[in-house]
A and B are shown apart, each in its own frame.
Chain A
Amino acid sequence: MKKIIILSCVLSIAILVSCNNQEQKPATNDNTVTTTAPASGQEAVQDDVSAKDVVKVAMSSKDHTTLVAALKQADLVTSLSNAGPFTVFAPTNAAFDKLPAGTVDGLMKDDKKEDLQNILQYHVALAAMKAESFTDGQVLGMVNGDNVTVSIKDGKIMLNNSATIVASIPASNGIIHVIDGVLLPPAKK
């Protein structure tokens, strides 16, 4: 029941917001059109036997609850359940905790959804990049449109000199590289 209320709240707010912002109507704002289609996309497919996609892998990790909550808040679950292929740099909960106090809570607010989307999309590239395929100085184009620079020192792969890949986990639709810092996109011009 609580969930329904929260959902309704989100919808109400989303709809209110959408009136003011023609460019950024959320995909789910139209709750009055009745079709026989289910309300969610590929993430809702009932399938417990297939290899897990990047979202499901993240969901099964105790160290990524902040990331998973953020992906849900940013409406990115459907996208990341897609065929991909994705390279996801997945900051751990500890990595999020390293951000200044209140940063995450602030980003989780509905009026900051666009900022949250921008940050999370800065952690995703459309390519399945294995750890061994990264090269020193490599520039990766991320989904949000900005670039991440790879550096390799003493066998450690660093991103933007601010986060290190601590583990790599293959998923059905790409690869998750667990990182120990949150990547912050360059400030918009």
Chain B
Amino acid sequence: MTCKKYGLLMSAVLDGEASEKEKNKLNEHIAHCSSCAKEFEELKRVKKFTSLRIAEAAPDFFETRVLQRVKDGQASRRPAYIKKLVPVGVALLLLLAGVIYKTNIFQTNVSGNDNNLFVNDKAEQNFDKALLDLYFG
């Protein structure tokens, strides 16, 4: 085994990933190879420094922000057919509102005239007048 290969073994020993047999092999080698012994000491120190590093706490309100982004994402990922149906629905609602307004369907028929149940002439005339005023001033 070359000194270069012992380098790999040193790293594995430091990480607790070497077998007892491999550890013994390394120990035997560094007992008579001063450059590898020096290298092993240096790697031990590097390991000591890098293992000083600790976990970092995530920023405040992390979960809340993630959840909000998930919700935002879900909203923007609605199926295409739903997106297409939105303007159709709005148009239908407007049409329905226009019909209701025009016919005064919810207005109480105070005259008691059954023929005038759905159409209030006076209201219709007022609506037409308002519309003409709106367009022609």
Partners in one complex: no
